[in-house]
Amino acid sequence: MYHRCILTLLNARSTYLISSRLWHVQKYPELDFSYLCNPNNSEEIASNIKRRKGVGNVELIQQLKRDLDNLNTSDSKYQEVKKRFHDECNNIPNATHPYIVNYGNEPKILKHIGEEPQFKFKPKEFHEIAKRLNLIRTEQLGYLSGHRSYYLLGELAEFEHALIQYTLNNLIRKNFKVVTVSDILHREIIESCGLNTKGERTQVIKF
């Protein structure tokens, strides 16, 4: 069974390339192009880019849209311009919720729950206690985890699974459907969801 699973993973890429009928993945994510390409929204979009510290260029997007509209689909440059247009659109950060826009730069206390405990000694931090009890590992993780990762061990790992199961049970009672997706996905599938896989920060691990 183990070897069959490994072979399935190894053949996943070739299956994708050989039979496109098995995969119905749209080439580009569905974005609100009418909003992005409307000149009346340029200032709002530019302000949001600055607020989110993004790298998008809304003026370039609108220029590429005009270029695309002026090209025939049979033109040799059409696909090139179309790809660049979609790539630039993907660089635009998500819109900021109005509550966050009006929040300001200083953090605000929303609610106090309980009282802060007072100790007669200097308390240790969580990771120090967990390491002493052999419940967490943050060093010598081998090739399985990246920088600043960790392993949960023993009772702490059991506690994590208990929290997950508790959350799932509550969601199921509220008629949510449980779905498990693959951890290894083809790059085009990830990009079709609007996630950049080629930038400096991609949240995607490549093998």
- Looking at the fold, whether 141 and 99 belong to one and the same domain comes out as no
Pick from 49, 71, 104: which residue ends a domain? 104
Share of the chain above pLDDT 70, in %: 82
> Given pLDDT bands bounded at 50, 70 and 90, which one contains residue 11?
very low
Same domain, 91 and 144: no
Quick one: which H or E segment has residue 136?
Answer: strand 136-137
The answer on 135 and 94 residing in a single domain is no
137-155 mean pLDDT: 81
Query: Could you give the number of structural domains in the chain?
Result: 2
The reply to whether 11 falls in a domain is no
Q: Is 21 part of any domain? A: no
Higher pLDDT, 206 or 88: 88
Same domain, 100 and 158: no
Domain assignment present for 191? no
pLDDT for res 46: 94
Query: Which helix (DSSP H) or strand (DSSP E) does residue 32 occupy?
Result: none
Q: What would the pLDDT profile of 12-24 be if each residue is shown by its tens digit?
A: 444 444 444 555 6
The answer as to whether 193 is a domain residue is: no
Residue 5 has pLDDT above 50, yes or no: no
- DSSP conformational letter for 13: H
97 and 145 part of one domain: no
Instruction: Report whether pLDDT(10) > 50.
Output: no
Interval 98-145: pLDDT, tens:
888 888 888 889 899 999 889 999 999 998 999 999 999 888 777 766
Question: Of 48, 73, 104, which residue sits at a domain end?
Answer: 104
Alpha helices in 53-206 (DSSP H): 58-70, 78-91, 98-101, 126-132, 154-173, 187-192
* Pair (91, 154) in one structural domain: no
Q: 0.85 exceeded by the pTM?
A: no
Q: Is residue 187 part of a domain?
A: no
- Give pLDDT, residue 30: 85
Q: Specify the pLDDT at position 161.
A: 97
Listed in sequence order, the residues at least 6 apart from 84 whose beta carbon sits closer than 8 Å to its beta carbon are 64
Kindly state the average pLDDT of the residues 148-156: 89
Specify the pLDDT at position 68.
94
Instruction: Answer yes or no: do 32 and 94 share one domain.
Output: yes
- Domain, as residue range, for 70: 28-104
| Pair 74, 41 in one domain | yes
38 and 100 in a single domain? The answer is yes
- Residue 174 corresponds to which tokens in the numbers above? 């509220």
Residue 196 lies in a domain: no
Please report the pLDDT score of residue 125 as a whole number.
92
Residue 1 has pLDDT above 60, yes or no: no
Torsion over CA of 169, 171, 175 and 179, rounded to 10 degrees?
-90
87 vs 25: which has the higher pLDDT? 87
Q: Is the pLDDT of residue 80 over 60?
A: yes
Token pair belonging to 190 = 């990830």
Asked whether residue 183 is domain-assigned, the answer is: no
CA distances 126 to 61, 109, 132, 152, Å, are 47, 23, 10, 13
> Residue with structure tokens 């691990």?
205
Does some domain include residue 195? no
